[in-house]
Structure 1
Amino acid sequence: MERVENAARSRTQSKTHRITVTAMLSAVSAVLMFVDFSVPFMPAFIKMDVSELPALLASFSLGPVYGVAVCFIKNLINCLRTSTGCVGELCNFLLGAIFVYAAGSVYLRFHNHKSRKGAIIGSVLGALAMALLSVPLNYYLTYPIYAKLMPIDVIVGMYQAIRPSANGLLDCLVTFNMPFTFLKGMIDVILCFLIYKPLSPLLHK
């Protein structure tokens, strides 16, 4: 009986820990989404941030579902200050969820045990999937809605101010947004590997 009670107590403590860490990482992620900045090789309305970093930490330490949860909560919080009718947040959530879920899933399943190699492969694959899917997601969802606020010709013109040979929205998304999204993901990956070990006791215990 005592063994059963101890096992139940351990499961409860583990669940409480996971919820607590998820809430903490979601709060940090929401703050990081506020701290964004423009980059010279992208139009001014596209910002760089590292708000997927806490979600990646959650995916590696708690599991991919928790990483997706951090992405969801972060964007839910940022919907309170959005100027895009939450369309930008929806796109950010979908791409971030693809990134961290792929990274965490590969990490858990790589040769049936967790390994640094599995984490690296999962992270790169996740960043690549996020970059590739950013093109259809932006082309068919995000930018058509943005076009109600700003004509597509004006949006394309902002890209052409950087690269005059840009030809149409799809070309802009492939040549600008896709590599930018991959770079953004890889910056999160590098930062994650730099801080994961020092934070590991807090994330796991």
Structure 2
Amino acid sequence: MKTVHVTKKINHTSGKGNVKRLTTTAMLSAIAVILMYMEIPVPFMPGFIKLDISDLPALFGTFVYGPFCGVTICLVKNVLHSFATNTVFVGEISNFILGCAFVVPAGMIYQKMKNKKGAIIASLTGSVAMALLSIVSNYFFVYPIYYNFMSKDLILQAYQAIFPGVKNILQALVVFNVPFTLLKGLICVVLAWILYVPLAPILRTGEE
């Protein structure tokens, strides 16, 4: 009888933790969608590029519950945001790919190194991975689709208006988009860790 009671208690605790995890993931996804709409123009970047910190909830969820939670948040926010855009989903697909490149390495490293050093390595690795993948994603996927709506020359001219030294789209992506994406990742990292210290213990209550 004692064994059965303990088993029931474990199952009850586990079920309660799963509900809390699901609820928290949904809440973070909703916050991420709102943050996607709160995009702002960035000085020294073409006008069609905006900054948002919608990857912040995904990174936070990754640190608390693991990479799968982060990927889920990235997926949900982009699916919901896609219904309100007219970019044939290309922006959301790119955002999802880069978001996964950000949270998956960070989450995997942090799961193996749950200390301050591991957190720093995980955060920087995720930010760098997202920044580097932005070259591939934009050059081979995003921009070729955008060329159907805005000519390649016009896009390049938007970059050259800021820095005439760029001669082609690939150079523009390296000079502009990589630092921009890296900065975006680092902003999310700083904010995530400011929030993580006070909130993570609360969110983890009932998980054990």
What's the CA shift for 1:195?
1.4
Alignment partner of 1:14 is 2:17: yes
Report what 2:181 is aligned to: 181
What's the CA shift for 1:163?
0.3
Deviations 1:63-84 (A, max 9, x none): 1110110011011111011121
Report what 2:140 is aligned to: 140
What's the CA shift for 1:125?
0.4
The one-letter code sitting in structure 1 at the alignment partner of 2:61 is: A
What's the CA shift for 1:32?
0.4
Question: Which structure exhibits the higher relative contact order, with contacts defined as CA atoms closer than 8 Å and separated by 6 or more residues?
Answer: 2
What's the CA shift for 1:204?
1.4
Deviations 1:114-159 (A, max 9, x none): 1122111101000000001110111000000000000010000000
**How far, CA to CA, are the matches of 1:89 and 1:119 in structure 2?**
28
Name the TM-score, length of structure 2 as normaliser.
Answer: 0.95
Alignment partner of 1:45 is 2:43: no
Unpaired segments ≥5 residues, structure 2: none
What's the CA shift for 1:41?
1.1
The one-letter code sitting in structure 2 at the alignment partner of 1:42 is: M
**How far, CA to CA, are the matches of 1:69 and 1:80 in structure 2?**
18
Instruction: Report the secondary structure of 2:162's partner residue.
Output: coil
Alignment partner of 1:80 is 2:88: no
**How far, CA to CA, are the matches of 1:77 and 1:202 in structure 2?**
27
Instruction: Report the secondary structure of 2:83's partner residue.
Output: helix
What's the CA shift for 1:60?
0.3
Report what 1:149 is aligned to: 149
5 Å-filtered alignment, 1:91-130, equals 91-110=94-113, 114-130=114-130
What's the CA shift for 1:203?
2.2
**How far, CA to CA, are the matches of 2:204 and 2:34 in structure 1?**
22
What's the CA shift for 1:201?
3.5
More moved, 85-94 vs 7-16: 7-16
Identity across matched positions, percent? 46
Q: Work out whether residues 104 and 119 of structure 1, in 8 Å CA contact, stay in contact via their aligned partners in 2.
A: no
Q: How many equivalent residue pairs?
A: 202
The one-letter code sitting in structure 2 at the alignment partner of 1:203 is: L
The one-letter code sitting in structure 1 at the alignment partner of 2:14 is: R
What's the CA shift for 1:182?
0.4
Report what 1:158 is aligned to: 158
**How far, CA to CA, are the matches of 1:203 and 1:56 in structure 2?**
14
Deviations 1:74-105 (A, max 9, x none): 11111011121110000000001110111111
**How far, CA to CA, are the matches of 2:89 and 2:202 in structure 1?**
32
What's the CA shift for 1:202?
3.5
**How far, CA to CA, are the matches of 1:180 and 1:128 in structure 2?**
11
